Amino acid sequence: MRSALPLVLAFAAGLHAPGLLAQPAQPPQSNPLQTIGTRPPEGNDSGLRPLSPEEIPPNLNFYAMDPLYKPGTPLGWSAERIEEELDRGLIALPAEGNRVYVGWRLLREDPEGIAFNVYRATANGEGVRLNPAPLRTTTDFVDTTAPLDRPNTWWVRAVVNGQEQEPSPRVSLAANAPVTGYKAIKLRDGLTSISMVGVGDLNGDGTYDFVVKHPGGGKDPGRLSVSRDTYKYDGYDGRTGAHLWTIDLGWNVDMGIWWTPMVVRDLDGDNKAEVMMRTAPYAATLEEAYPGARQGNALDSPEFLAVYDGETGKLVDQVPWIELGKVQDWGDNTGNRASRHLMAVAYLDGKTPAVLAARGTYGMMKVDAWVLKDRKLEKVWRWTNERAPFLYHGQGQHSIRVADIDGDGMDEVINGSVAIDHDGRTMWSSGLGHGDRFYVTDIDPTRPGYEIAYIIEEAHPQLGLNVRDARNGDLIFGSREPNQDNAIDQVLVGDIDPAYPGMEVWANKGLKQLFYTAKGEPIPGESPSTSDLIWWDADLLREQVQGGFGGPRAPGAPAPSGPPPGRTIGKWKGETLTRNIQGASHQVADIFGDWREELITFTNGELRIYSTTIPASDRRVCLMQDPFYRHYVTTRTMGYPHVPQLSYYLGVAP
């Protein structure tokens, strides 16, 4: 009778979880659990063996309800979709051979057939057009005639129906500028390490600016120790490099990535990004902090979701963070599981950006959705699994994905192995539990909709790596062998090999690799690393960012000592395209220039934004204007880093 009660409550609450209602009696070969993604559908050719009753976690056939859903709650207030208004993102980088690479953005709002002219002025001279005819194929140009012993300035003018438009903002290079491959932003004195880098237009000038969280390092909630410093956030102008403001969280916020999520996005449509984070009452010294902070676990401090003005750094509004309640309700007595926090931004009504605040990963999980209206935060809904059965507990991963997975024009929230509809109602759960990383994108462009690639960190007889239909959670394919606890901690997807249609999917399992095609066919041989991917050269295959701290190590092997070596960008089993990229990787994103991506690192007291100088062969809309892609960049400011993915397939044609 235990399974009957949740089912009755689900009907009473108006359950919105496709495929989770009770099924009529069926023959043994047709398992009702197939509809909730815990078993492959009939006819699946992955070769997975049926699980015995002893291998299925208890209560897996319970059905969830939606205890806090309120029908009719407004999901937003905007009449049209609020998005960033970007300029041309012009960049000029010295390249080998006395050349200067000039790149700029193609924007989604540009008319079909738009072309561009490139201009240069040397010293105080007049501007000279460099291209004999308007450029229509690419949004880049290699200047081979610039007198580099003098200062130079470049700009572009769009050409629409034969008429030149207003000039873009200009970029300049000093005389004898060195060939570095990057744009540098000097950070304020004293910064020796950083933690995360947020990207957004803070001042509304159409150029991306940067929010730098520092210092680096920090403890894990499971390892109690007193924080050695306080987290600070610095805003920097992306055009001038000027330091804009500093926000100090103080000693009541523990130092570690799970305590301090941050997002940088425009929430109110003023074309200026807000900065949102979890905060606490400010304490200037450890002695002024709450007792918990002085003991290494600040669980006794009030907690807030705070919104700051991105241009000034001043507080706009704050509301209570998801309440802690009883520590043990989150799954332990130490505060480890209660101290897992995440954030994201979702268009729940398709127009208004809402900020999501989440607490819990390994047991109880809660998500609050808020919108910023008239400079005040208003709560939209709360999702929680606190009264749900086992299937919905402990399903979190170390990030949240946001995507319109059902095609209704509004964003759904994938909170690890659980999918939540735009209105806060439960959609489905895989029931497989926790993993560190997962990706939502169009892995297989030959099948409709999006796919989700998961790794499951917990012990399981199979499916340590699994790919699912994003709409309903149905299993598409998965690894067949048993997975030991903590054996798999990373998964990555991308088109890196033209021999296989669609994206490749891979994960590391100790020293053994799991490597599959988009259809789930094993790929023989060594698998790639699970480090960053980047679109760098002129083709549609994604390149690998390698180096830094080396590749996989045997269990128990010591980490390498000394500073990390320079990173390289290269093809999978192919040529190395660039070497000696210095500093730890903090972002991969289409920051400026054409559609190829930039790599943001930190070293020697400065942000370095590495950009390609390889001429493009075609043009496409700025990747940051794709909603999936913008989401991935937004959420790389917390938890484990994820490579940004698109809402459409960008790779070699399947």
> Distance of alpha carbon 399 from its chain centroid, rounded?
8
Ramachandran angles phi, psi of 53, nearest 5° = -55, -35
Contacts with 107 (C-beta within 8 Å, 6 or more apart), sequence order: 86, 88, 621, 622, 625
Q: How far apart are CA 199 and CA 264, in angstroms?
A: 6
Which pLDDT does position 54 carry in this prediction?
Answer: 57
Question: Tokens 């400010």 label which residue?
Answer: 282
Contacts with 579 (C-beta within 8 Å, 6 or more apart), sequence order: 566, 568
CB atoms under 10 Å from CB of 41, counted, come to 14
Nearest residue to 455 via CA among 542, 534, 535, 514: 514
Burial environment of residue 19 by CB neighbours within 10 A (0 to 12, 13 to 18, 19 or more): middle
Which pLDDT does position 53 carry in this prediction?
Answer: 56
Q: What is the pLDDT of residues 483-492, one digit of tens each?
A: 877 778 789 9
Collapsing DSSP states into helix, strand and coil, what is residue 405?
Answer: coil
Q: How far apart are CA 323 and CA 303, in angstroms?
A: 8
Contacts with 119 (C-beta within 8 Å, 6 or more apart), sequence order: 127, 128, 129, 130, 154, 155, 156, 157, 167
| 421's tokens | 């509809």
Nearest residue to 468 via CA among 484, 485, 486, 491: 491
| 569's tokens | 């960008």
Q: What is the pLDDT of residues 340-385, one digit of tens each?
A: 999 999 999 999 999 999 999 999 999 999 999 999 999 999 998 8
Nearest residue to 403 via CA among 473, 465, 450: 450
Ramachandran angles phi, psi of 71, nearest 5° = -60, 140
Q: How far apart are CA 215 and CA 298, in angstroms?
A: 19
Q: Strand (E) positions, 115-273?
A: 115-122, 128-129, 140-143, 152-160, 163-167, 171-173, 182-186, 196-200, 209-214, 232-236, 243-248, 262-265
User: What phi-psi label fits residue 313: left (phi over 0), alpha (psi between -120 and 50 degrees) or beta?
Assistant: left
Which pLDDT does position 106 carry in this prediction?
Answer: 98
DSSP state, residue 33: G
Q: Which segments in the chain show pLDDT lower than 70?
A: 1-70, 389, 510-512, 548-565
